[in-house]
A and B are shown apart, each in its own frame.
Chain A
């Protein structure tokens, strides 16, 4: 396994290099000009030209790329064109809220979806199954912002028991931390719950039709051991894949939930940087997100090894 990890880590280097080149080219070849945005609406053309020169944006693209790559090789993601803060520190500031929201969302989704999926598979074709799958379709079809606004209306404006917006770091206390994350995590969690419940159900249905399940039941095993020990364990690989992909996608930025609940996370950082054409920030965020994606995929692969000894790489 250590060799596998090393091999996979080494493979991330060319992947990250390709990401770096593509991101740099796509950004710099797209329309938009940070100098015009910084200078403001009242700036003259001369002001904008002067600013562009002072930011080095008038340099040839190849020169800008080499200089950025040189910085990257030294572990420096550069500084924001706008506020001159280091991109690394900006990402670090935004990682905690996104990570917290992601983990809470996944925990909610796993705790609710896996039992529901198993239950639906076990009671396939019954009212229970139809009800669970109906709810899953409804939840999956609802946009996050709609669920968010509905929750805010009820919990924050009518009952006034949870805050509308904002984020409190865990360091300032568990209760305010959970208070601020409850509604966004539920809003996002509903969709992932639906997705995961459907995935669990379909995989469990396949597994429950296998001979070894029939054998286990014929041997007189109870429902729970059959479902959990023989069923769920064998259905775990696709379920874990879905969970892992969910984590990776959420880490990449949950823009809508972060915007609706004013959570200063990676998603909002990315969108704001894109709107402003803050090239170093966009490049930094995409690189870090890609790295996170690669790492999560590696962890999923490792989880396969633990869950299914037949799998070999």
Chain B
């Protein structure tokens, strides 16, 4: 056997080198910087979740709501002062008795299939939305009838005055999006899969690849309002030809892609990336959600000790919001040191009334109150921990620590979020597949009023898992909703919050903000509480 190079080796090496170099040259051609310069009319955005469902009535998933804002238009929309402003409607009239609204649509509105938007489309869309949305259900509890008047006008007749008609039509999260009547007549329990709307972008269903990509093209027929954009209201001018949503599950990959210029927009960077992104040249970090999100601890009111007020109030004394926020967020620029407002600090319903027990932990008092509520020494308390949601998992660890300091025998039960969503809906006792506590978070606009905040809903059997039950609180909520005068509503909010700190439907453990990051050549990004894609352009 030979173990020395033969005469052919140098030429083989040369060939290999040449082949390798040619291959690398071939592979690298057209990539990197060259590729980035190709298209200034397309925005490549990495979104926080995969778009799987197109019907915003069928699901309340945020990704579907964001899709809906691209393809559908709304009757009203919130401005930055959280006032509903006309969007598809030109205006409305209200009868002197405050019971009959007549809304008139702007002229020139068209669906993506070329058909004009008519009053019948609006009526059918609002009815479908009201069958599912809690605020819609509330509105329809006060409604006698909703009917078209002519092609451009429709009438809402109330049984008694209701102060939130325009707020309901223009709510920031899950408003009534307007679909063609043929689609809006689909029962709300069935999913609409035809994405025809009248919004500023058209969904390219033929290019949709669930798990990978969703594509939107500019709606050439869209007629924006003349006013400048303000939060979700005003002129929605689509300046991009194309918006491509890309779903990349690995955040490190998204970070690399943003830095390399392969993507333009990172909708939901992990909060521990924010410092690094701020220091990255050519990348801008912007907080587009001035309200932020609220973290909340949900007690199960069906079983001791949280079936009693004292038990739930005891939880308040185990909370150190700064500790929670340190674990969940880390970066102190991105959270408030303390917020005792159930409806978020800096919102129209911000108040600190009643929040004193939440300000400083008092474990001895918590222990005492738990005992008064029937908690027995050593009894297991089942706390659900979502291991695939880092923020929830971190907050749950802090919760367990606080409870242990108050003498609770915590039984942390870890599972993925899908399992927890199913488990939390079970009404079984905690030691037989049920639960005592879990943690979740909730987006700003939803939380900021007593009627849109679903975790605040205290309708017993009809409330969200945890089944908060307080008829007195519900009466106050209804009074707030009925009151048309915003100043008077403000006084009712304080009564509501005072009562809430007695009955404790949930415990707010902090308020924090999720900025977005984008390439610095992306201009016109709006502070709209959520990512919206009108007004954006690339330079």
Contact = CB atoms under 8 A, between A and B. Distances in A.
A44 B454 contact: yes
A238 interface: no
Contact of B462 (A44, A259, A277): A44
A32 B425 CA distance: 11
B150 interface: no
Nearest to B461: A45
Interface in A168-221: 175-176, 178-179, 182, 217
A111 to B, nearest CB: 12
B28 interface: yes
Contact of A83 (B3, B53, B174, B415): B53
A153 B32 CA distance: 13
B109 to A, nearest CB: 28
A36 B388 CA distance: 17
Interface string B22-50: 00101111111101000000000000001
Nearest to A38: B59
B520 interface: no
Nearest to A175: B26
Contacts of B423: 31
B442 A41 contact: yes
A8 interface: no
B330 interface: no
Contacts of A262: 212, 246-250, 253, 257
Contact of A164 (B134, B253, B461): B253
B27 A277 contact: no
Contact of B60 (A40, A153, A269, A272): A40
A21 B432 CA distance: 28
Interface stretch (A10-18, A48-56, A292-300): A48-56
Given A32-B418, A160-B33, A165 B210 contact: no
B111 to A, nearest CB: 21
Given A51-B189, A259-B250, A163 B262 contact: yes
Given A82-B52, A152-B253, A262-B246, A175 B59 contact: no
B133 to A, nearest CB: 9
Given A160-B260, A162-B27, A175-B29, A44 B54 contact: no
A164 B211 contact: no
B189 A50 contact: yes
Interface string A30-46: 01110011111111111
Residue among A43, A153, A175 with max Cβ neighbours from chain B (10 Å):
A43
B416 A152 contact: no
Contacts of B33: 160
A277 B419 CA distance: 9
A68 interface: no
Contact of B260 (A164, A175, A261): A164
A264 interface: yes
A122 interface: yes
A308 interface: no
Contact of B440 (A41, A162, A259): A41
B53 A38 contact: yes
Interface in B380-437: 388, 415-419, 421-423, 425
B446 interface: yes
B454 to A, nearest CB: 5
Interface of B: 1-3, 24, 26-33, 35, 50, 52-54, 58-62, 132, 134, 174, 189-191, 193, 209-213, 246-250, 252-253, 256-257, 259-260, 262, 388, 415-419, 421-423, 425, 440, 442, 446, 454, 457, 461-465, 467
28 contacts: A31-B419, A32-B419, A32-B422, A33-B418, A33-B421, A41-B60, A42-B174, A42-B442, A43-B454, A44-B457, A53-B189, A85-B210, A123-B3, A157-B260, A162-B28, A162-B32, A164-B260, A175-B27, A175-B30, A179-B30, A182-B27, A226-B1, A259-B253, A260-B250, A262-B250, A264-B213, A268-B249, A276-B52
